[in-house]
Amino acid sequence: MALEKLKKTAVVGSGAMGHGIAQLLATAGYEVTMVDVNNELLQKGKEKIKWSLDKFVEKKRIRKEDADATLARINLTTSFEQAGKDIDFAIEAVPENMDLKKKVFSTLDSVAPSHAILASNTSTLSITEMGKATKRPDKVAGMHFFNPAQLMALVEVIKGDSTNQETINTLTELAKKLGKTPVIVRKDVRGFIVNRILGAVFLEAFWSFHRGEATKEGIDASVKYTGGFPMGWFELADFVGLDIAYEVGKILYEAYGERFKPCTEVIEPLVKEKKFGQKTGVGFYDWTKGRPRIPFNLLEEYDVDRSWAVTVNEAAWLIHDDAANPEDIDTGMKLGTYWPSGPCEHADRTGLDVILGKLKELYAKYNMEMYKPCPVLEEYVSKGRTGKKAGRGFY
């Protein structure tokens, strides 16, 4: 279905992500029906939308009458039948649980017209599997927004094994119409682009800390003040939520094996104590008095090139798997996490041979798969594609 035909939409789940996505759709002029398990949650979701629209009015980013019209385009219901009737597009943002997602997809499939596209906002789960719960797997895809959806510019559009190109094209155009920058994940790989690369960089930091090579404050100081990243890896893990980082870590390990060998000793005890980070007040850091202070004087404790090495390696694996191209990988990391540079452009500037050398050095030292160079990097370097200095690298 072409984007011009898309008029009526539904959002399943009115929580942290669902209400934000509903707001984006309504702002772009679409009729939206939000579905949740009870009216109280739906009302809460709508109140959050109103609060956010009021902020935009206050900051003069939208006019009061447009905010009112946006709010008026949002309907609430607990009935899938009512929500799915006549829709052209639905997206689900229910909790990250495959059985629940499959149930939602099979219900949506039974109530929505056969032409409607059904999308998932999942952070990591298989789009292909969700598609199999429907009779229209060609019209099922991932549309992964970042939190808060109203403000974050990135959307990962994910192709399941049976998703057709028309669906991907329509969702790519839809993301643009919502004011977002879409990146395409061509294969249904776990972690897509952003969470997969973040997973790699977190693990390098966790293992370095676990081996006693650096303190968490030292790693974070080096990453922030020397590396120029907006947050240190421990600070970011706390911000994302250690429960989520832990679950995503397990999924990445299941998907990619030893390359994502979890550093259980570092994260599991905190998760077991329900110290999930910012949202619970404590994680790696104490957040009860605000953002943790990362001491400036530790900025040389950790070698940030190690972070870059595993990051570039994982980007190379994404290319190896034919899951994404360098432009989309770089855009994903810059817009999804505010990195100062994407891994591929960083590698081209630094030299792929230099990155490869670093990985080989780390692999020889620790004998861990996470440092084993991806064949794509080896191949590029052997062909003289060493980056900017050679005129060709990832780009």
Ligand X SMILES: NC(=O)c1ccc[n+]([C@@H]2O[C@H](COP(=O)([O-])OP(=O)(O)OC[C@H]3O[C@@H](n4cnc5c(N)ncnc54)[C@H](O)[C@@H]3O)[C@@H](O)[C@H]2O)c1
Which of these ranges, 92-100, 267-275, 291-299, 363-371, lies near ligand X under the rule CB under 6 A?
92-100
210 flagged as catalytic: no
For ligand X, the binding residue among 31, 96, 138, 173 (CB under 6 A) is 96
Handedness of CA 102, 107, 110, 112 (dihedral sign): negative
- Which region holds residue 34: left if phi is over 0, alpha if psi is between -120 and 50, else beta? beta
For ligand X, the binding residue among 95, 289, 364, 365 (CB under 6 A) is 95
> Binding of ligand X at residue 72 (CB under 6 A)?
no
> Binding of ligand X at residue 35 (CB under 6 A)?
yes
* Rounded alpha-carbon distances, angstroms, from residue 382 to 24, 27, 221, 322, 377: 47, 50, 35, 20, 8
Q: Which residue is nearest to ligand X (CB)?
A: 15
Contact assessment for residue 265 and residue 255, using Cβ atoms and an 8 Å cutoff:
no
Shortest distance, position 44 Cβ to ligand X, whole Å: 8
144 flagged as catalytic: yes
Catalytic residue among 92, 121, 126, 156, which? 156
19 flagged as catalytic: no
Q: x-or-dash pattern for ligand X, window 14-33, by CB under 6 A? A: xxxxx---------------
Residue 122 or 163 with smaller CB distance to ligand X: 122
Residue 123 or 172 with smaller CB distance to ligand X: 123
Catalytic residue among 52, 121, 123, 222, which? 123
Long-range contacts of 77-83 (CB under 8 A, 24+ apart): 77/33, 77/34, 77/35, 77/42, 78/35, 78/36, 78/37, 78/38, 78/39, 78/42, 79/35, 80/12, 80/35, 80/107, 80/108, 80/111, 81/111, 82/33, 83/10, 83/12, 83/33, 83/34, 83/35, 83/111
- Residue numbers 119-178 binding ligand X by CB under 6 A: 121-123, 145-147
Catalytic residue among 52, 121, 126, 195, which? 195
Residue 209 or 339 with smaller CB distance to ligand X: 339
Question: How far is residue 34's CA from residue 116's CA, in Å, rounded to a whole number?
Answer: 16
> What amino acid is encoded at 90 in this protein?
A
Residues binding ligand X: number (CB under 6 A):
23
> Binding of ligand X at residue 304 (CB under 6 A)?
no
CA angle 108/254/97 to nearest 5° reads 25
Return the closest-CA partner of residue 3 out of 182, 174, 139.
Answer: 174
Shortest distance, position 65 Cβ to ligand X, whole Å: 29
Catalytic residue among 52, 121, 144, 162, which? 144
Which residues form the interface with ligand X (CB under 6 A)? 12-18, 35-37, 41, 93-96, 100, 104, 121-123, 145-147
Catalytic residues: 123, 144, 156, 195
